[in-house]
Amino acid sequence: MRFSKLLASTVALGFFAPLVAWSQTSFPSSAPAAKPQSTTGSTATKSPYDRMLLKPALLKDKAPDTFQVKFETTRGEFTISVTRAWAPVGADRFYNLVKHHYFDNARIFRVVPGFVAQFGISAYPPVTAAWHNATIKDDPRNQSNKRGTIVFATSGPNTRTTQLFINLKDNSFLDSQGFTPFGVVDGNGMNVVEMFYDQYGDNAGLDQEPIEKGGEAYIAQKWPKLDTIKSATIVATSAPTATPAKPTAKP
């Protein structure tokens, strides 16, 4: 699976909020033509996403030893606690994606009951394209794929990019296949995760290439009931370890 391309092959999830269709109103031909407005000193249209997401090679910050990320979705809120020691490379990638709001407005594009819920395809095709080949190396696994753990999808060794899945049950059979948990859903958060729309089954998950190219506009047409991640934000981090000060040399 890249559970991305793995499971497009086996496990893939993503959500994008439906677009609202707006009708156009025609104006009487007798109405005076509007004068062109000067753009001098005007503010350019704001990008719907952080432009830094178009430069994956620059997003290399080291994650804190532990941190929490709050997900606000169309089904409610839940928090994921990340422990960097479980999978340092994966935790760093997740930290940078969240820090720059990669997951905002993305859909949970694949939910397989009793298996996984997967997401990580951006709502914006240019962003998805920028990360397509931004792979990271695998982490040695030291945690099992238990219910509630979050894991990067993969299509083979060292192919992790942006797609993630949350285990909906204990999937220990994935432990030997290179899937390395780096965090876990806190408290009763799984009550929210398990409500994600799952009636499309694998159908939407196997439609990843059109989803990547068409983004939210495509999903709104083809898979409109998929749930959406409204935002994913870092809400807590571990305090940095203080470095002991060197004793002052005596004169």
Q: Note the pLDDT tens digit of each residue in 202-216.
A: 999 999 999 999 999
For residue 251, give the amino acid letter: P
Give kind and range of the element (H or E) at residue 195. none
> What digits encode the pLDDT tens for the residues 40-57?
444 567 899 999 999 999
Q: Are 166 and 66 in contact (CB under 8 A)?
A: no
> What digits encode the pLDDT tens for the residues 73-107?
999 999 999 999 999 999 999 999 999 999 999 99
- Predicted local distance difference test score (pLDDT) of residue 28: 32
How many CB atoms are closer than 10 A to CB 202? 17
pLDDT at 2 over 80: no
How many CB atoms are closer than 10 A to CB 248? 6
Which of the two residues, 251 and 226, has the higher pLDDT score? 226
- Predicted local distance difference test score (pLDDT) of residue 10: 46
Q: Are 122 and 217 in contact (CB under 8 A)?
A: no
Indicate the pTM of the whole model: 0.80
Radius of gyration of the chain (CA): 21
CATH 3.40.50.300 holds for 64-237: no
pLDDT at 250 over 70: no
Q: Are 184 and 193 in contact (CB under 8 A)?
A: no
